[in-house]
Amino acid sequence: MEKEQISRRSFLSTAGITAAGISGYARDWTGKNPTRYPDPAIISLDPRFDKYKLGNTPVQRLYTNPNRLWNEGCAWNAVGRYLVFSDVPGDLQLRWIEDDNRVTVFRKPSGNSNGNTFDYKGCQISCQHGPRRVVRYEYDGTETVLASRFNGKRLNSPNDVVVHRNDDSIWFTDPSYGITRNYTGTKAPSELKEAVYRIDAKTGGITKVTDDIVKPNGLCFSPDLEKLYVADTGEGSNDIKVWDIDGTSLKNGKQFASMKLDGFDKAGHSDGIRADVDGNIWSSAG
């Protein structure tokens, strides 16, 4: 894979960060010490980010629970106005409802689900670490297995998933995190190289679009659907890569952005990523 030479900090990795999410930042969530807008936890490191800062919008914590282990794989349902997310080792999915700010258990067991998304018919698609597969939940609540094997071999532990708007194809990442120990899945030997796959919506056929990546994690399309971005959380990598989409395949892979933020000695790990309508990539940076 070609590594793009970036002469200056990319907008992605330096433009905006949320101080509330940076380790060591002592955020007071109790409300005892109110502050004025704009929220000081939203820091702009590049003037191009300023237009995305809404002056009267604070950083809000939607949910916390000491009895839960993880919060992963958020997916927003615009019709139902709710957010689904996964507690992977807890083997459940939770749902935050916008109307009353309530969080309830949405699905248990969940197959140790991780990444979630919704297709353009409104069905939820989830990556399950436990049974090592990608599933779709139908309108009646039943599961349809979309992918569990490639060339006769079991997938590692599907991690994140997106749906292509033009042809309804489903693209997902398959790192080995869920089979390295008995925590977010079941420890097992890997049968396949970690890779990114595409499921054809019409035939159900599965193709590997790239394995030129260490640990494929979060992924998203550009708004014009001409590029695929994938977070690489592999040791010594820790960046976001990008490919041009060429029909049903990928080409011209390169580094899009490192996760090195100004003022921090170590690079963060990008995990979940999404593109906005302007083509900016929004990423976690833990």
CATH of the domain at 273: 2.120.10.30
Q: What is the pLDDT of residues 133-143, one digit of tens each?
A: 999 999 999 99
Residue 13 within a domain: no
pLDDT recorded at residue 285: 76
Average pLDDT over residues 29-49: 78
pLDDT at 9 over 70: no
Residue 50 within a domain: no
Residue 53 within a domain: no
pLDDT recorded at residue 263: 67
Residue 151 within a domain: yes
pLDDT recorded at residue 37: 74
pLDDT recorded at residue 3: 46
pLDDT at 22 over 70: no
Q: Domain range spanning residue 145?
A: 69-283
* Stated length of the chain: 286
Give the total number of structural domains in the chain. Answer: 1
